[in-house]
Amino acid sequence: MQNMASRSRQVKLLNLAKVKSHHVNNNHYGEIEEIEVEVEKNFRKFKNFDILETSPLDHYFLDHQPTSTLVCFGLHKNKSPKKTMREEWEILSSQLPNSIFYIRVYESRCDLMRVVVINEEAATNSYHHGLFFFDLFFPKNYPSNPPKIVYHSYGKSLNEIRRVVCDNYIFKNWGSLIKSNTESPILNVLVSIEIFISNSIELERSSETIFQMLRSPLIGYEDFVLGYFLLRSHHILLNYKTTFTDPDEENYKTFFNLIKAFEEIGAYCKHHYKYLESYDN
């Protein structure tokens, strides 16, 4: 995976071609299109499911006792933890819906998992970004007991996701989720989370989450975050403008900061400045 810092520097240099002059020549546009094609290519290559060698240092449950050192996982008393989880991984890798869930698991810690849920409906309604990151830890008695799951809120509590889904739903419905031997209980949980996000219109909105994700993308998802926001920057900005029920200085300041954040990763946003100019007038 290409280093995020070096790529950001490369993108910033190319981005200068877009704002240096109002009369940008075709060669400059060619360079811009080239880097956007590269970023999109890396984003498209990002697998829905992948097994990595080592777990990320920023995983929420990294300091938990590794389940892989224990004898068994709950109901599977004749299986090693790694074998149990590999069976789960095989089901996930074959059943994941495209462009909704992106999962990373780890050879060194089979008890850890990281997931991002994409919700395009949320990207145009309840939330402006549509990215929801979760870290999971599988206990020694899994699947008798459910995994622990934490939502990366980037400083925002978003208690509804944690309270309704991560806490209540999993524990109340775990028995029904593990009945099938051909379906992954984890996939059922993720689908439930995605449905909850889609149907929730009163959840907290915050552009600050976008800034936090761009500044500090979770390890293993650097390319994914960059490509996601680069390709959707125009749409996100348009959507943000529609939420201005009462335009004020704070709204326009946030809109300006979003433009700058997207330009820093290589997005062409110059035409959006016209909206700010209309406010100044």
Which three-class secondary structure state does DSSP give residue 96? coil
End-to-end CA distance of the chain: 46
Interatomic CA distance for residues 226 and 260, integer angstroms: 14
Q: Which residues pair with 137 in a beta bridge?
A: 112, 148
**Active site includes 72?**
no
List C-alpha distances in Å: 32 to 74, 202, 234.
53, 38, 15
User: 132-149 as b/e, with b when 16 or more CB fall inside 10 Å?
Assistant: bbbbbbbbbebbebbbbb
Q: Are 210 and 129 in contact (CB under 8 A)?
A: yes
From the candidates 72, 110, 166, 269, give the one annotated as an active-site residue. 166
**Most distant CA pair in the chain, distance:** 73
Q: Is the bond leading into 143 cis (omega within 30 degrees of zero)? A: yes
Interatomic CA distance for residues 183 and 273, integer angstroms: 49
Q: Are 263 and 35 in contact (CB under 8 A)?
A: no
Q: Are 89 and 51 in contact (CB under 8 A)?
A: yes
For the annotated catalytic residues, the residue numbers are 166
